[in-house]
Amino acid sequence: MSKEPALTSTEGIGNGLASGSHTERLSNLVSTKRAVVDRDKGLELFRDMTLGRRFEDKCAEMYYRGKMFGFVHLYNGQEAVSTGVIGAMKRQHDWFCSTYRDHVHALSAGVPAREVMSELFGKETGCSKGRGGSMHLFSKEHHLLGGFAFIGEGIPVALGAAFTSRYKKEALKQEGSNAVTAAFFGDGTCNNGQFFECMNMAQLWKLPIIFVVENNKWAIGMAHDRATSDPEIWRKASAFGMAGEEVDGMDVLAVRGAAQRAIERARAGEGPTLLECLTYRYRGHSLADPDELRAEEEKKFWAQRDPIKALENDLIKEGLATDEDLRSIEKTIDSEVVDAIDFALSAPEPDAKELTRYIWSDN
């Protein structure tokens, strides 16, 4: 494949409406580039999305029952992005960098539900040993570079991972070094300096990274269209000569298809991609948010586009699964989530004598 600078992609892009309205942009997306999956892969995607949804629902229950504390930001509604991107990558080979809305990214990356739930309860059995909590999930084993409480904070970390991959291959001559890094962040991050600086460096050095914008329309309480001069984030890629693509973030097969194209470019040495996924969160910014700013009409529109229901309809329509197959998966997932809760509640608290452990290297 060509080593020349990648041009802005026209596969799955919008029609350039100045308003940037999600509803208008979604209606004009080209969907012919959706991924094709077989039965096994389709059920795997359904399982991953269902695990994310049911896990977050249980987190909300525990929070409102006073069992879970601190800031908790849930992912309900955005599952197609996590599953679509991470599911197209290689676990324990590629790298993933998240935000404060990181539970489902961790699950998609393969971090066991027990470890994620334990971390949310601050237990020693958590993936961050109870030191990180909801916003700071980390797992070296699963190549999860962390959740980050401040917007844009994780993008330079992801860039470093991508640089490492290329350095190992070209400077150290490790031919097997072809890992790709996915950096997840929201629309509210895209007016920050880290976003632009890292995109510039990534394109300059042709780093194998995918900048995944989870555009859910709202940065806490600020509507995206009111906060940026060009609401179509994917178009910002052209300023750097980078490949950019806009995709329906409520369609896991569309996201998977776009991710596959970006991964192929990255592994071929053609550099980064800016992937804007138009999606929506079904809950408030955090569980402490009464969610009074968003119009009921808007919430209703997106509720009708539930990504899990959409995949379910696709699988049944294509004869890849039956209703019984999917209900059986849901039942198994429910048991897995209950087990994670039971495990986390009974797990030990971190030893107070080890308060400063993990702050400095053991070496």
311 is a domain residue: yes
Residues 293-319 have a mean pLDDT of 96
21 is a domain residue: no
Ramachandran sector of residue 24 (left: φ over 0; alpha: ψ -120 to 50; beta: rest): alpha
Give the residue, 266 or 10, on which the prediction is more confident. 266
Give the residue, 275 or 354, on which the prediction is more confident. 275
Q: In CATH, what number is assigned to the domain containing residue 218?
A: 3.40.50.970
Type and span of the H or E element at 313: helix 307-317
Residue showing tokens 């009921």: 296
Band of pLDDT at residue 357, cut at 50, 70 and 90:
confident
Residue of 271, 276, 266, 265 whose CA lies nearest to 232: 276
Q: What is the pLDDT of residues 179-232, one digit of tens each?
A: 999 999 999 999 999 999 999 999 999 999 999 999 999 998 899 999 999 999
Q: Whole-angstrom Cα distance, residue 197 to residue 190?
A: 11
Confidence at residue 313, expressed as pLDDT on a 0 to 100 scale: 97
Give the residue, 221 or 329, on which the prediction is more confident. 329
The token pair at 289 is 């948010």
Sign of CA dihedral 323, 329, 332, 333: negative
281 is a domain residue: yes
10 is a domain residue: no
Average pLDDT along the chain: 92
38 is a domain residue: yes
Beta bridge partners, 268, equal none
354 is a domain residue: no
| Structural domain count, the chain | 1
Report yes or no: 160 and 209 within 8 Å, Cβ to Cβ. no
Q: What is the pLDDT of residues 114-129, one digit of tens each?
A: 999 999 999 999 999 9
Band of pLDDT at residue 109, cut at 50, 70 and 90:
very high
218 is a domain residue: yes
29 is a domain residue: no
Is a pLDDT exceeding 80 seen at residue 289? yes
Q: What is the pLDDT of residues 11-45, one digit of tens each?
A: 333 333 333 477 777 777 765 689 999 999 999 99
Q: What is the pLDDT of residues 231-286, one digit of tens each?
A: 999 999 999 999 999 999 999 999 999 999 999 999 999 999 999 999 999 999 99
Q: What is the pLDDT of residues 83-108, one digit of tens each?
A: 999 999 999 999 999 999 999 999 99
Is a pLDDT exceeding 60 seen at residue 349? yes
Confidence (pTM): 0.91
3-class SS of residue 68: coil
Domain range holding 84? 34-345
Confidence at residue 134, expressed as pLDDT on a 0 to 100 scale: 96
Confidence at residue 6, expressed as pLDDT on a 0 to 100 scale: 35
